[in-house]
Amino acid sequence: MKLKKNRDANWKKIIYSLARLASGSILLCASLDKLSDPDKFSKMIENYHLLPMSLVPLAAVVIPWLEFFTGLFLAVGFKWRGASLLYCGLMAVYSFSLTWNLLNGVEMNCGCFSMDSTEKISWLTVGRDLGFLVLGLLTLFAPDTYAAFDSLLDRLWISLKTSAPLKNR
């Protein structure tokens, strides 16, 4: 009985870990194309008409790096709960901006993963982003995950504090 419970807990932890890795990878992939061409990305943001023009260049410079570091931190498991909160925030903003433009009857390039792709915004892209948001929520409220850099740091910290060898803990 106890063994079965442990096995269940293990499976859940694996699912949470996979959700964390997947959400991190998604954001990392999405950021790479935007990092290299902030000028093109600023035109994409402009097309969404959600930000005042004066904030567009700053957003074009900051958002790709925010995506990059949030994705990286999620993937390696460093400050992953804070990163997943940011991830959820980003996905909520993206879903809102897509929905807003669709409701206003605007059809334009999504610019979600690649700025050169001709993928147009649609209810499918909104659904995809909401799916990504669920993945982020799963990570955010996960009790614990495997292969997180945070756990390693914790273990190192405890071992240093007690001066006990790492493998004995």
Partner 1 sequence: MALKSLKSISNKKIDFKQVNFSVFQEAWNIFLFSTAFGILFNLFYSNGIELKYVPPKSLHLQEILKSTKSPPTSPGWNFRASSPNIQSPFFQPTPAQDTLPRLSLSGAKDRFDRKSSIFLDARSPDEYKEGHIPGALSFYADQFDEIAPQILPQLTDKTKEIIAYCHGSSCDLSIHLAQKLIEQGYTNVKVFFGGWPEWKKAGYPINTGSNP
Q: Under the criterion CB under 8 A, does residue 38 sit at the interface with partner 1?
A: yes
Which residue, 83 or 126, has its beta carbon nearer to partner 1? 83
Distance CA 65, CA 67 (A): 5
Which residue, 131 or 147, has its beta carbon nearer to partner 1? 131
Which residue, 7 or 169, has its beta carbon nearer to partner 1? 7
Q: How far is the CB of 162 from partner 1 (least distance, A)?
A: 23
Q: How far is the CB of 20 from partner 1 (least distance, A)?
A: 13
Distance CA 119, CA 112 (A): 9
Rg over alpha carbons for the chain, rounded to the nearest Å, is: 19
Site string for partner 1, 104-143 (x = CB under 8 A): xxxxxx------x-x-x---------x--xx--xx-xxxx
Site for partner 1 in 75-104 (CB under 8 A): 79, 81-83, 85-86, 89, 104
Residue labelled with tokens 């001066």:
163
Structure tokens given for 60: 């074009």
Q: What is the DSSP letter of 104?
A: T
16 and 143 in contact (C-beta within 8 Å)? yes
Q: How far is the CB of 69 from partner 1 (least distance, A)?
A: 5
Which residue, 144 or 169, has its beta carbon nearer to partner 1? 144
Cα 18-24-39 angle, rounded to 5 deg? 160
The neighbour count for residue 71, using CB atoms within 10 Å, is 24
Structure tokens given for 61: 């410079």
60 and 38 in contact (C-beta within 8 Å)? yes
- Give the binding site for partner 1 (CB under 8 A): 8-9, 12, 15, 36-39, 42-44, 46-47, 49, 53-58, 60-62, 64-66, 68-70, 73, 79, 81-83, 85-86, 89, 104-109, 116, 118, 120, 130, 133-134, 137-138, 140-143
